[in-house]
Amino acid sequence: MFSSEAKKRISLVLKRYPIKSSALLPLLNLAQEEEGFVSEDSMREIAKLLDLTPPKVYEVATFYTMLNLKPIGRFHLQVCKSLMCALVGSETLLKWIDQELGIKPGETTQDNMFTLNTVECLASCGTAPMMKVNNDYFEHLTHEKVCQLFEDLRTTGKCSLATGPFRWPDPGMLR
């Protein structure tokens, strides 16, 4: 299940805490990093590693929104829909995404490239409309930028429009 590289990281992680179960979230995050989602197999393996029962691991995993318990598309589009983003256009952003990819929240494109979800505040409220794609933030989005983003992700798997280290207002914000 876990790669040997991951196993090395796990032994380091375990040293950080006086009790094993504290490593549960770090390991669930790691499992998702490796496979794109948290599989039942990895939950069983984590349970074994931490002397927990599999249901206990499952109970915790279902609490945290970021953990996907089913496989999703290669790029996870997470649009913030909380009030502050909604004031400045998160609904419009969802429309652009629908126009370009033909998906609504909860859906995945047929080629399995993109999964779209709406999420609650991502601490980007002053630089909205925004979305997170996998680990990267994309802020001050326009229809044009959204098109470029999808194009770049499709062709290179990366996009230079990703923002951070965060500072706003700051003219030099783009990475």
Given the rule CB under 8 A, which residues bind other proteins?
16, 18-26, 28-29, 50, 52, 59-60, 62-67, 81-84, 86-88, 91, 94, 105-107, 116-128, 132, 135-137, 164-169
Whole-number minimum distance, CB 147 to other proteins, in Å? 22
> Judged by CB under 6 A, does residue 128 bind ligand FES?
yes
Provide φ and ψ at 108, rounded to 5°: -125, 140
Among 47, 57, 77, 80, the residue binding ligand FES under the rule CB under 6 A is: 80
Q: How many whole angstroms separate alpha carbon 96 and alpha carbon 142?
A: 9
Whole-number minimum distance, CB 132 to ligand FES, in Å? 9
- Judged by beta carbon, residue 84 or residue 174, the one nearer ligand FES is 84
Q: SS3 for 144-160, per residue?
A: HHHHHHHHHHHHHCCCC
Q: Is 89 exposed, middle or buried (0-12, 13-18, 19+ CB in 10 A)?
A: middle
> Judged by CB under 6 A, does residue 92 bind ligand FES?
no
Q: How many whole angstroms separate alpha carbon 22 and alpha carbon 98?
A: 40
Among 82, 92, 134, 148, the residue binding ligand FES under the rule CB under 6 A is: 82
Q: How many whole angstroms separate alpha carbon 104 and alpha carbon 148?
A: 19
Cα-trace Rg, the chain: 18
Q: Which residue has the tokens 């991502």?
A: 122
- Judged by beta carbon, residue 41 or residue 84, the one nearer ligand FES is 84
Question: Interacting stretch for ligand FES, rule CB under 6 A, among 40-48, 58-66, 104-112, 117-125?
Answer: 117-125
- Judged by beta carbon, residue 121 or residue 174, the one nearer ligand FES is 121
Q: Pick from other proteins, ligand FES, none: which does 47 bind, CB < 5 to 8 A by kind?
A: none
In 118-147, which positions are buried (b, 16+ CB within 10 angstroms) versus exposed (e)?
Answer: bbeebebeebbbbbbbeebbbbbbeeebbe
Q: Which residues bind ligand FES (CB under 6 A)?
A: 80, 82, 84-85, 121-125, 128
